[in-house]
A and B are shown apart, each in its own frame.
Chain A
Amino acid sequence: MTTDFEELVTETLSQHAARVTVRPDLSRLVAQARRRHLRTRLVTCSALGAATAASVVVAVGMAATVTPPIQVRTAAYVVSRSDQALTSVAPRSFVAVATTFGGNGLPASIFPIATSTRVLRTEYWSFGDRSRVEAFADNGKAVIGVGTQSGAVTTVTGAVYLSGTWWRALLPPGDPITVFRAARAPQCNVHAVLAAVLALANVYAELSPGWPEALRDVLACERAVATSRQVIDGERVIRIEPKVPGVDSAGVRIVSWVSASTYLPVRVLVTVQGTGPRSRWWQQEDYIWRRPSPANLSKLTQVVPAGFRRVAAPSFAIG
Chain B
Amino acid sequence: MTEEVTPVPDQLIDHQLERLLADRGSHLLRTAVLLAGNHQDGEDLLQAALERLLRRRRRIEGSAEAYLRRILYNLAADGWRRGGAWARKLPLVQFSQPTAVPDLADAVDLRDALIRILWQLSPQQRAVVVLRYWEQLTEAEIADVLGCTEGTVKTAAWRGLNQMRKLAAPWLPAPAGVGPALTMKEGTS
Give chain A's interface residues, CB within 8 Å of chain B.
5-6, 8-18, 20-22, 26-27, 29-34, 36-37, 40, 61-62, 64-65, 69-70, 72, 102, 226, 228-236, 239, 253, 255, 269, 271, 273, 280, 282, 284
Q: Are A271 and B105 in contact (CB under 8 A)?
A: yes
Give the CA-CA distance A228 to B96 in the complex, in Å: 13
Residue of A27, A40, A65, A269 near B104 (CB, 8 A) is A269
CA A69 to CA B189, docked complex, whole Å: 8
Q: List 13 A-B contacts (CB under 8 A).
A: A10-B134, A12-B111, A13-B130, A17-B134, A20-B42, A27-B21, A33-B47, A34-B10, A61-B84, A62-B84, A65-B88, A233-B39, A282-B104
B161 touches A30 (CB 8 A): no
- Whether B115 pairs with A273 at a CB distance below 8 angstroms is no
Instruction: Determine if B33 and A17 form an interchain contact, defined as CB atoms under 8 angstroms apart.
Output: yes
Min CB–CB distance B105 → chain A (angstroms): 5
* Interface status of B116 (Cβ within 8 A of chain A): yes
Interface size classification for chain B = 35 or more
Contact A30 B17, beta carbon cutoff 8 Å: yes
Chain A residue with the shortest CB-CB distance to B16: A30
CB distance from A243 to the nearest CB of B (A): 14
Write out the residue numbers on chain B whose beta carbons fall within 8 Å of the beta carbon of A69. Answer: 187, 189
| Given contact pairs A12-B114, A33-B51, A34-B54, a sample of 16 additional A-B residue pairs in the complex whose CB atoms are under 8 Å apart | A5-B172, A10-B136, A13-B134, A17-B30, A20-B29, A20-B30, A22-B25, A27-B18, A31-B14, A36-B47, A64-B41, A64-B85, A65-B88, A70-B187, A269-B105, A269-B108
Q: What separation, in Å, do the CA atoms of A27 and B29 have in the docked complex?
A: 11
Distance A29 CA – B187 CA, assembled complex (angstroms)? 34
> Least Cβ distance of A37 to chain B in Å?
5
> How far apart are A296's CB and chain B's nearest CB, in angstroms?
14
**A60 CB to nearest B CB, Å:** 9
Contact of A37 among B42, B54, B90, B183 (CB under 8 A): B54
Known: A37-B51, A269-B105. Contact between A15 and B85, CB under 8 A? no
Taking the closest CB of chain A, its distance from the CB of B26, in whole angstroms, is 4
* With known contacts A17-B134, A22-B26, A102-B104, A32–B47 Cβ distance under 8 A: yes
Interface flag for B31 (CB, 8 Å): yes
Residues of B within 8 A of A234 (CB): 37-41, 85
Q: Which residues of B (128-186) have their CB < 8 Å from a CB of A?
A: 129-130, 133-134, 136, 161, 164-165, 168, 172, 183-186
On chain A, the residues within 8 Å of B78 by CB distance are none
Find B29's partner among A26, A72, A239 (CB 8 Å cutoff).
Answer: A26
Q: CA–CA, A30 to B15, complex, Å?
A: 9
| In the assembled complex, B55 has its CB within 8 A of some CB on chain A | yes
Contact count A vs B, C-beta below 8 Å: 149
Complex: A29 Cα to B40 Cα, angstroms: 12
Asked whether any CB of chain A lies closer than 8 Å to the CB of B75, the reply is no
B21/A255 in contact, CB under 8 A:
no
Chain B residues lying within 8 Å of A22, measured Cβ to Cβ, are: 25-26, 29-30
- With both chains docked as a complex, state the minimum distance between the C-beta of A11 and any C-beta of chain B, in angstroms: 8
Q: Report yes or no: B39 in contact with A273, Cβ–Cβ below 8 A.
A: no
Of chain B, the residue at the smallest CB distance from A17 is B30
B43 within 8 A of A: yes
Asked whether, in the complex, the Cβ of A232 is within 8 Å of the Cβ of B112, the reply is yes
Instruction: Give the residue name and chain of the B residue nearest to A234 (CB).
Output: B38
Tell me if B77 is interfacial: C-beta within 8 Å of chain A: no
Chain A contacts for B88, CB-based, 8 A? 65
Cα-based distance from A236 to B116 in the complex (angstroms): 12
Interface string of B76-117 (1 = CB under 8 A from A): 000001011100101101000000000111001011101110
Chain A residues with CB below 8 A from B44, complex form: 64
Say yes or no: is B5 at the interface (Cβ < 8 Å to chain A).
no
A18 to chain B: which residues have CB within 8 Å? 30
Decide: B14 and A34 in contact? CB cutoff 8 A.
yes
- Does B22 sit within 8 A of A, measured CB to CB? yes
Docked CA distance A106–B69 (Å)? 36
- Residues from chain B with Cβ under 8 Å of A33 in the complex: 47-48, 50-51, 53-54
A29:B50 contact, CB within 8 angstroms: yes
Q: Which residue of A11, A37, A229, A282 contacts B187 across the interface (Cβ within 8 Å)? A: A229
B72 located at the interface, meaning its Cβ lies under 8 Å from any Cβ of chain A in the complex: no
| Contact call B186/A229, Cβ cutoff below 8 A | yes
